[in-house]
Chains A and B, each alone.
Chain A
Amino acid sequence: MEYIIKIKKPKKNLFTDKWVWNMAWKDARNNFSRLFLFISSIIIGIAALVAITSFNNNLQDDIDRQAKELLGADYVIHANSVLEKSFHDRFDTLGVEKASTMSMASMAYFMTSTSGTRLVRVVAMEGQFPFYGELETTPSNAFEKMNSDTPFAMVDSNLATQFDVSTGDSLKIGNVTFKYAGEVRKIPGGGGIQSTFVPSVYIPMTMLDSTGLVQYGSRINNDVFIKTTTDKAAVMLSERLKSEVKKYGHTFETVKSRKENLGKTFANLYRFFNLLAFVALILGCIGVASSVHIYVKEKRATVAVLRCIGASGWQVFNVFLIQTVVLGFIGSLLGATLGLILQYAIPLILGEFIPIDISVAISWQALGQGILVGIVIAVLFSILPLVNVRFVPPLVVLRSIIESSRKITKTTIFTGLLIVIFPLAFAAYLTGSMITGLIFFVGLLVAFACLALFAQLLIFLVKRFFPKSWSFVWRQSLSNLFRPNNQTTVLVVVIGLGAFLVATLSIVQDSLLNQVEFVGGENQSNTILFDIQQHQLEGVTKLVEDNGFPINQTVPIVTTRLKTLKGKTIAEIQKDTTDQIPNWSLTREYRVTYRDTLHHSEELTSGKMQKEVKQQGDTVFVTISEGLKESLELEIGDEVVFDVQGIPITTFIGGVRKVDWPNDPPNFIFVFPKGVLEPAPKIFVITTRTTNAATAGVFQRELVTAFPNVSAIDLKLILETLNTFFEKVAFAIRFMALFSIVTGLVVLSGAVVNSKYLRMKENVLLRTIGALKKQINAMTLIEYGYLGFFAGLTGIGLSVMSGWALATFFFELEFSLNYVSLLSLWGIVIFLTMIVGWWNTRDVVNSSPLEVLRREVL
Chain B
Amino acid sequence: MATQVAKRVNRGKRIVSHIGLGQMIAKDWKRNKYVYLMLLPVIIYYLVFHYGPMYGVIIAFQDYSITKGVWGSPWIGLENFQQFFSGFHFSRTVINTLAINVIDLLFGFPAPIVLALLINEIHLNPFKRLVQTITYMPHFVSVVVVVGILVDFLARDGVINNVLVVILGISPTAFLQQPEWFRWLFVGSGVWQHIGWGSIIYLAAISAIDPEQYEAAMLDGASRFQQIRHVTLPGIMPTIIILLILRVGNMMTVGYEKILLMYNPMTYETADVISTYVYRQGILQADYSFSAAVGLFNSVINFGLLIFANWFSRRVSETSLW
- Same complex for A and B? Answer no
